[in-house]
């Protein structure tokens, strides 16, 4: 797996707030691994389309496997230009001024040409990676795809060559002139949490360890 930083390109270089960006693979990979879903953008007849998609990083490759993947999968037969974005919210930034309201977040955008995975072995790898992404430890505790299922699995492969992490962290950024205002200001942390598992009706087995101790990477 590559460890060198990614090379910035025109479209991974923001027009402002460049201090909020990084091209280092470790934090980029960490955000890709933590986020549960991805928003995948592509172009149809000159117009933008964005669909929510389940993703999984596998080394230096991002696999994209969506409930709405049928259309993009057809487009991707010969390769389709896409942007895949995952965003993790960390806090609401509640300033005294409406203007300085913001959010603390970490967001990775991956640009490139996505190709449909056609090799059955790589489809099996991608399907297992997606399951493992959703619930670490689960690939070994679920049934892998059979030949028919793998034939029906639409997965795109997007190399992690052109990507950027943008983030905001830290406290509100109010102007000092506003400090005397009577308004409360600060952060409200945002977390993704998980409730009590709801077994399918036929299940009476106990909860496996990978779920009783479920947490995001």
Smallest distance, Å, CB 26 to a copy of itself? 21
Q: How far is the CB of 4 from a copy of itself (least distance, A)?
A: 25
CA torsion 11-42-49-63 (nearest 10°) is -110
Which of the ranges 1-9, 26-34, 66-74, 155-163 carries the binding residues for a copy of itself, by CB under 8 A?
66-74
211 binds a copy of itself (CB under 8 A): yes
User: Among candidates 44, 37, 36, which has minimal Cα distance to 82?
Assistant: 44
Residue among 2 and 37 whose Cβ is closer to a copy of itself: 37
Cβ atoms 104, 90 nearer than 8 A: yes
How far, in Å, are 9, 154, 177 from residue 118 at the CA level?
29, 9, 60
Nearest-approach distance from CB 3 to a copy of itself, in angstroms = 27
When asked if residue 94 is in the footprint of a copy of itself (CB under 8 A), the reply is yes
Which residue among 27, 34, 85, 137 contacts a copy of itself (CB under 8 A)? 85
* Beta-strand relationship, 102-116 and 80-94: antiparallel
> CB neighbours (10 Å) of residue 167?
17
Q: Which is nearer to a copy of itself, 7 or 147 (CB)?
A: 147
Distance CA 155, CA 122 (A): 9
Nearer to a copy of itself, 3 or 189 (CB): 189
Which string of x and - marks every residue 150-189 that binds a copy of itself (by CB under 8 A)? --xx------------x-x--xx-x---xx-xxxxxxxxx
Q: Identify the residue among 14, 79, 137, 159 touching a copy of itself (CB under 8 A).
A: 14
| Contact with a copy of itself (CB under 8 A) among 91, 116, 117, 158 | 91
Residues from 104 through 133 that contact a copy of itself (CB under 8 A): 105, 107, 109, 111, 127-128, 130-131
* Among 24, 43, 59, 60, interactor with a copy of itself by CB under 8 A: 43
The reply on whether position 95 binds a copy of itself by CB under 8 A is yes
Q: Which two three-digit tokens encode residue 93?
A: 């930034």
Phi, psi of 58 (to 5 degrees): -135, 95
What's the sign of the alpha-carbon dihedral 85, 56, 122, 67?
negative
Tokens representing 133?
A: 């992404």
Specify whether the CB–CB gap between 27 and 18 falls below 8 A. no
Indicate whether 30 belongs to the interface with a copy of itself (CB under 8 A). no
């Amino acid at each position: 797996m590559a460890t060198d930083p990614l090379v910035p390109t025109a479209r991974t270089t923001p027009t402002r707030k460049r201090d909020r960006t990084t091209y280092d693979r470790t934090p980029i990979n960490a955000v890709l691994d933590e986020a549960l879903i991805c928003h995948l953008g592509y172009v149809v007849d000159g117009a933008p389309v964005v669909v929510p998609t389940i993703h999984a990083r596998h080394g230096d490759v991002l696999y994209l496997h969506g409930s709405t993947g049928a259309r993009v999968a057809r487009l991707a037969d010969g390769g389709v230009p896409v942007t895949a974005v995952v965003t993790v919210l960390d806090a609401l930034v509640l300033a005294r001024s409406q203007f300085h309201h913001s959010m603390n977040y970490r967001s990775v955008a991956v640009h490139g040409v996505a190709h449909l995975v056609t090799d059955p072995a790589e489809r099996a790898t991608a399907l297992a990676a997606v399951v493992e992404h959703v619930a670490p430890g689960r690939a070994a505790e679920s049934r892998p795809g059979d030949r028919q299922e793998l034939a029906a699995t639409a997965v795109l492969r997007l190399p992690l060559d052109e990507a950027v992490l943008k983030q905001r962290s830290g406290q509100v950024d109010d102007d000092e002139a506003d400090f005397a205002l009577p308004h409360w200001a600060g952060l409200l942390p945002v977390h993704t949490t998980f409730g009590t598992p709801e077994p399918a009706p036929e299940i009476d087995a106990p909860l496996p360890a990978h779920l009783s101790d479920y947490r995001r990477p």
